[in-house]
Structure 1
Amino acid sequence: MVRPEDTTKGKGEIAADLLAILCCPETKQEVGLLDQTVVQRLNQKISKRELKTKGGQLVTEQIDGGLLRKDNTVVYPIRDQIPIMLIEEGIPIEKSDLSSM
């Protein structure tokens, strides 16, 4: 098994070649890296127990980053450089969450 040599990425980042092939598992739309200020805003909501997944579960674990669906309505969390690309783990977001973008 070949492992990437680049260990300089932050926990909320993923390799560019991986990002290029990922898409939303529900709609097949492109996804892009979420701005870190939005990640911080979402983590504040997680701390306050204000976010639920598309599957209806309360989000209790902070995210390191996120992949934002092209229509800006769903974020797929990244934890330890691993994108969680499951429909039920997607986090619906509001336009106000993206106001800094």
Structure 2
Amino acid sequence: MDKRLLDILCCPVSKTPVRPLSKHELDALNEAIAAGQVDSVAGTGVRERVAEALITTDRKVIYRVEDGIPVMLPEEGIGTTQLTAFPTTP
């Protein structure tokens, strides 16, 4: 992702900056999705693997990146508190 774009993006709700999800974090997210344990903030089940994502620097919300475009809609966010095996550090 373009560094300039990343520098201006933030969570639309909390205004917390975001960073790319690490491979370790992405693997943990996709394992939880495969197990059917992930819902969006709106309560909709997330069923498709995520190839790329951004996470707030406070590690509370994940936003998917689809075809290089960040999906920064509040209802599309994925709260990390539901991810029991999510790494505590990137």
Identify the TM-score tier after normalising by the shorter chain: 0.7 to 0.9
Deviation at 1:24, TM superposition (A): 0.4
Q: Distance in 2 between matches of 1:33 and 1:90?
A: 14
Deviations 1:29-78, CA, capped at 9 Å, x for gaps: 11111111110110111111110000000001111121111221111111
Structure ID, larger Rg: 1
1:86 to 70, 73, 83: 73
- Corresponding residue of 1:55: 42
Which amino acid is the alignment partner of residue 6 of structure 2? Answer: L
TM-score, normalised relative to structure 2: 0.88
Extract structure 1 runs of 4+ deviating beyond 4 A.
none
RMSD: 1.5
Secondary structure in 2 aligned to 1:98? coil
Count of residue correspondences: 88
Which amino acid is the alignment partner of residue 32 of structure 1? Answer: R
Unaligned runs of 5+ in 2: none
Q: Distance in 2 between matches of 1:81 and 1:61?
A: 16
C-alpha contact (below 8 Å) 2:28/2:85 kept by paired residues? no
TM-score, normalised relative to structure 1: 0.79
- Corresponding residue of 1:42: 29
Task: Tell me the percent identity.
Answer: 33
- Corresponding residue of 1:98: 87
Deviations 1:1-29, CA, capped at 9 Å, x for gaps: xxxxxxxxxxxxx1111111101001111
Which amino acid is the alignment partner of residue 97 of structure 1? Answer: F
